[in-house]
Chain A
Amino acid sequence: MSHYEAPIREPLVLGDKSYHDITEDIAKPIEGKANKNWYIAFYISLAAMLWGFGCIFYTVGTGIGVWGLNKNIGWAWDITNFVWWVGIGHAGTLISAVLLLFRQKWRMAINRSAEAMTIFAVFQAGLFPIIHMGRPWNGYWVLPLPNQFGSLWVNFNSPLLWDVFAISTYLSVSLVFWWTGLLPDFAMIRDRAVKPFQKKIYALLSFGWSGRAKDWQRFEEVSLVLAGLATPLVLSVHTIVSMDFATSINPGWHSTIFPPYFVAGAIFSGFAMVQTLLGIMRKVTNLENYITRLHVEYMNIVIILTGGIVAVAYASEFFIAWYTGSPYENYTYMSVGAATGPYAWAFWSLIIFNIIIPQALWFKKVRRSFIWSFIISIAINIGMWFERFDIIAIVLSKGHLPSTWWRFEPTFIDVGIFIGTIGFFFVLFLLYARTFPVIAQAEVKTILKSSGENYKKLRDGNHE
């Protein structure tokens, strides 16, 4: 009875699986050889990454002038990418922390990869403020260190510094949360490894995990408390990112709706990226029995919810901009001016990709379709990038005086660095998919008896 689950719930692990089968399935991508598709994807990502690194070196060597910024638009493409990447990171923590607190069993098949995505995405995000410093070797100036510059401390009143603390706390806490969960799975790989070198590496990575009853007791307690800590943390991170804008006095940015709306947008875009990655990964690593249609549908439900919150936020921003009657508000990112002005293409891209296309997910057929979920997730990734671009570039492009009306046009360096971070992200993710247990197998084993298809059939009788 301890493994009872209502028959009405769909199974989360398909097929006739035993504990040992789970071990085999998860270890297979690590122990086998990579196929041709993996190498093609890897080399394309590597090329993009190296191109991006070239652009970064050029920027650092020459100066920020190589970007498309001008006297009015002091940050645009780079901060757009920063916010985009941080937002993508949010889904991983939401899945592993918030869904743990809500005891959602379906998180177990996807939390490992979603958290890997979080960590790799936050790496990319962190690059942009450091590059934008222009002198990245002085990056340590953002830390509150005693120094010889007349005791010049960091400014704790500034949202940019809050961001430093929020992002670094987020990255480091996500990393230990992820790694602690990985220990038993690394131990599993270690104990079945045949090649001595592989055994050594996984012995090192597993920190000598032995799986004593006391260790498991502590492990579960630590997971629960970390989830409790990570839940407010993940909500705080994009709140603080939004304060970079909301605490300024720029109309269009100075908006109290920003924190909740940014957090919803972050989860929206993060889940879209999880869909994109897992849509590919379940095929490549033959894990179709663990990442099922049901998982895809649940994620799509989160997407339609958070996407709805974002749509309502857009509507209220648009309404307020019109309702103020202030001519200046007519040029903010959600306004008639934006919809008809020189950035109309960016405005409408946002509306189409972020609001209109995701509405298809209201249909159960679409929600449960792998290919449609994948296509819609790509649309949302693009739409959420445009959201940040619109907020930043459109608002800055129309100042109070006509002399401050400038347009932002990206240079190939701007674009190159962005492409480079996408390449870097996929390089990390592809290496991860070959070397790490991509599913939290110890956790999946705990739900096999309650949610495995074979056990459910045995228990409920064959109703079909």
Chain B
Amino acid sequence: MSNKVIHAFYNDDEVVLDAVKKVKAANHHIEEVFCPFPVHGLDKAMGLAPTRLAITAFIYGITGLGVAIWMTNYMMIQDWPQDIGGKTNFSWWLNMPAFVPIMFELTIFFAAHLMVITFYMRSRIWPFKEAENPDPRTTDDHFLMEIPVHNNEDELTSLLKETGAVEINVVEKH
């Protein structure tokens, strides 16, 4: 099976957005679009599902809050209660107002860091990872649309030309 793909270059965000819509309307599968900056509405036009990272952040935040509650209760009430300025040391609930800052900070700490780690894992970015954008211009001022070819090279090329592509290359993808 051939792994031929078409790389169509665009140099304007509005043009690439319209092009994606037209290619989609002609029932072609868009493998990927590489952009130098976020294009508003591109994910919807490509039919990408909404990201669920915000939901994970909420779950991580709840986890952080739970850890803070467990930690303050275990350390201050269960394991080694101390008399500190006469504050309640036999009930977590009565001592709770003093723990609010800790609960708040750990909620934020867990939500922020675990969400970012999830993002890095899902998008496969980490130190020493090789970049996968096929052309260096895609981080400067060019947008690159990648479409797999199934014996319809000429049809695709003419369609992409129509949509305003500034350069079209057919390449073998490894």
**Contact flag A443-B119 (CB < 8 Å), given A166-B105, A173-B113, A217-B43:** no
Residue A232 at the chain B interface, CB threshold 8 Å: yes
Binary interface profile of B, 113-137, with partner A (CB < 8 Å = 1, else 0)?
Answer: 1011001101111111111110011
Q: Are B79 and A151 in contact, CB atoms less than 8 angstroms apart? A: yes
Q: Which residues does chain B contribute within 8 Å of A216, judged by CB atoms?
A: 35, 37-39, 42-43
Q: Which residues does chain B contribute within 8 Å of A23, judged by CB atoms?
A: 140-141
B111: contacting residue among A157, A158, A183, A229, CB under 8 A:
A229
Stretch of B21-29, B94-102, B151-159 contacting A (4+ beta carbons < 8 Å) = B94-102
Q: Are B105 and A157 in contact, CB atoms less than 8 angstroms apart? A: no
Q: Which residues does chain A contribute within 8 Å of B98, judged by CB atoms?
A: 156-157
**Contact flag A236-B76 (CB < 8 Å), given A211-B138, A213-B48, A222-B119:** no
Give the residue name and chain of the B residue nearest to A22 (CB).
B141
Q: What's the Cα separation between A172 and B99 when bound, in Å?
A: 21
A236: contacting residue among B41, B101, B131, CB under 8 A:
B101
Distance in Å: Cβ of A246 to nearest Cβ of chain B: 13
Binary interface profile of A, 85-97, with partner B (CB < 8 Å = 1, else 0)?
Answer: 0000000000000
Q: Which residues does chain B contribute within 8 Å of A156, judged by CB atoms?
A: 72, 75-76, 98-99, 102
Q: Which residues does chain B contribute within 8 Å of A192, judged by CB atoms?
A: 136, 139-140
Q: Are B37 and A445 in contact, CB atoms less than 8 angstroms apart? A: yes
Residue B14 at the chain A interface, CB threshold 8 Å: yes
Distance in Å: Cβ of B174 to nearest Cβ of chain A: 15
Q: Which residues does chain A contribute within 8 Å of B79, judged by CB atoms?
A: 151, 153
**Contact flag A209-B131 (CB < 8 Å), given A157-B84, A217-B43, A221-B53:** yes
Q: Are B116 and A222 in contact, CB atoms less than 8 angstroms apart? A: yes
**Contact flag A172-B131 (CB < 8 Å), given A156-B76, A217-B51, A225-B57:** no
**Contact flag A187-B115 (CB < 8 Å), given A156-B75, A211-B35:** no
Q: What's the Cα separation between A442 and B130 when bound, in Å?
A: 20
Q: Are A207 and B127 in contact, CB atoms less than 8 angstroms apart? A: yes
Q: Which residues does chain B contribute within 8 Å of A226, judged by CB atoms?
A: 112, 115-116
Q: What's the Cα separation between A226 and B95 when bound, in Å?
A: 30
Give the residue name and chain of the B residue nearest to A150 (CB).
B80
Q: Which residues does chain A contribute within 8 Å of B95, judged by CB atoms?
A: 157
Q: Which residues does chain B contribute within 8 Å of A214, judged by CB atoms?
A: 43, 48, 51, 123
Residue A176 at the chain B interface, CB threshold 8 Å: yes
Give the residue name and chain of the A residue nearest to B136 (CB).
A191
Distance in Å: Cβ of A150 to nearest Cβ of chain B: 8
Q: Are A207 and B46 in contact, CB atoms less than 8 angstroms apart? A: no
Q: Which residues does chain A contribute within 8 Å of B1, judged by CB atoms?
A: none
Residue B87 at the chain A interface, CB threshold 8 Å: yes
Residue A206 at the chain B interface, CB threshold 8 Å: yes
Q: Which residues does chain B contribute within 8 Å of A213, judged by CB atoms?
A: 32-35, 39, 42-43, 46, 48
Q: Are A217 and B127 in contact, CB atoms less than 8 angstroms apart? A: no
Q: What's the Cα separation between A368 and B141 when bound, in Å?
A: 33
Q: Which residues does chain B contribute within 8 Å of A230, judged by CB atoms?
A: 112
Please report the number of residue pairs spanning A and B whose Cβ atoms sit closer than 8 angstroms.
Answer: 202
Residue A104 at the chain B interface, CB threshold 8 Å: no
Q: Which residues does chain A contribute within 8 Å of B99, judged by CB atoms?
A: 156
Q: Are A144 and B112 in contact, CB atoms less than 8 angstroms apart? A: no
**Contact flag A210-B131 (CB < 8 Å), given A184-B139, A233-B108:** yes
Binary interface profile of A, 158-194, with partner B (CB < 8 Å = 1, else 0)?
Answer: 1101100110010011001100100110011011100
Q: Are B102 and A162 in contact, CB atoms less than 8 angstroms apart? A: yes
Within 8 A of A (CB), among B28-85: 32-43, 46, 48, 50-51, 53-54, 57, 61, 71-72, 75-76, 79-80, 82, 84-85
Distance in Å: Cβ of A456 to nearest Cβ of chain B: 16
A173: contacting residue among B109, B124, B125, CB under 8 A:
B109
Residue A303 at the chain B interface, CB threshold 8 Å: no
Q: Are B101 and A229 in contact, CB atoms less than 8 angstroms apart? A: no
Residue B19 at the chain A interface, CB threshold 8 Å: no
Q: Are A188 and B36 in contact, CB atoms less than 8 angstroms apart? A: yes
Residue A154 at the chain B interface, CB threshold 8 Å: yes
Q: Which residues does chain B contribute within 8 Å of A302, judged by CB atoms?
A: none
Q: Which residues does chain A contribute within 8 Å of B109, judged by CB atoms?
A: 165, 169, 172-173
Residue B90 at the chain A interface, CB threshold 8 Å: no
Residue A218 at the chain B interface, CB threshold 8 Å: yes
Residue A220 at the chain B interface, CB threshold 8 Å: yes
Q: Are B139 and A211 in contact, CB atoms less than 8 angstroms apart? A: yes
B33: contacting residue among A159, A212, A219, A229, CB under 8 A:
A212
Q: What's the Cα separation between A232 and B100 when bound, in Å?
A: 14
A183: contacting residue among B32, B108, B112, B125, CB under 8 A:
B125
Q: Are B127 and A204 in contact, CB atoms less than 8 angstroms apart? A: yes
Residue A362 at the chain B interface, CB threshold 8 Å: no
Binary interface profile of A, 193-215, with partner B (CB < 8 Å = 1, else 0)?
Answer: 00000000001101111111111
Residue A316 at the chain B interface, CB threshold 8 Å: no
Q: What's the Cα separation between A209 and B32 when bound, in Å?
A: 14
Q: Which residues does chain B contribute within 8 Å of A283, judged by CB atoms?
A: none
Contacts A/B (CB < 8 Å), 24 sampled: A18-B141, A19-B141, A144-B75, A156-B75, A157-B98, A158-B84, A161-B102, A172-B113, A173-B113, A176-B112, A177-B112, A183-B125, A187-B139, A191-B140, A192-B140, A208-B125, A208-B130, A213-B32, A216-B35, A216-B37, A217-B50, A232-B108, A233-B105, A446-B38
**Seed contacts A213-B48, A218-B51; 4 additional CB < 8 Å A-B pairs:** A150-B80, A191-B133, A207-B127, A219-B38
Pairs A-B, 7 closest by C-beta atoms: A208-B129, A191-B136, A19-B141, A153-B75, A162-B101, A207-B125, A442-B37
